[in-house]
Chain A
């Protein structure tokens, strides 16, 4: 069974860059058709899609975050990463990684999620 696990600092200072990594086990990040996603949830609020990446490096980002987001993949480590620059208190949230199978014209299937990691932006 595929498992995803987020890791990274739980506290980031304002104006700095938030960096998180998602490690995938039980399956290859290079499997065709899968997009590897980052999603966040502000305290007490709903889910917000940040973006996703294909193993080849192709990315899609939420337009509202695009100027500050970079998602990258390391197939040798079976990991993908999130960088969010110039953070403020508004970026305090639980960050989840998830897997999605996308076949344009056919299907989109989100299935496995990580447990999530709380990142607090504070000085």
Chain B
């Protein structure tokens, strides 16, 4: 069973920068895993932020960026805003099927 691992929780100060990561139990994450990132706030459906590693949707704020970092997929928030407090999920592609990470609860404090 493939497992995708994210940090359970992170805390960042308003205006700061934070990087969330997404690791695969199968080894290093490459662009071929097409990492996607989602934001979910309480009581809401997830909202897509990043696809295929680093591509933004038309609605994705500029302060969000995606990359590969040290064998993991990464989501960086620069100039964090209070409204960025949420749960963040990554998703990786495994040749047909996909697997979500367990999520990172980001606190802005």
Interface of B: prevailing SS: strand
- In the complex, whether A62 has a CB less than 8 A from a CB of chain B is yes
B26-60 at interface with A (beta carbon < 8 Å): 34, 36, 38, 40, 45-48, 51-52, 55, 57
Q: Tell me the nearest residue of chain A to B93, going by C-beta.
A: A108
Residues of chain A at interface, number, CB under 8 A: 23
Knowing A47-B46, A49-B91, A113-B45 are in contact, say whether A107-B100 is a contact too (CB < 8 A).
Answer: no
For the complex, is B99 an interface residue (Cβ under 8 Å from A)? yes
List A residues 15-45 near B (Cβ within 8 Å).
39
Interface residue count on the B side (C-beta < 8 Å) = 25
How many whole Å from B54's CB to the nearest CB in chain A?
11
Partner of A108, one of B1, B45, B51, B100: B51
Interface positions of B (Cβ within 8 A of A): 1, 34, 36, 38, 40, 45-48, 51-52, 55, 57, 89, 91, 93, 95-103
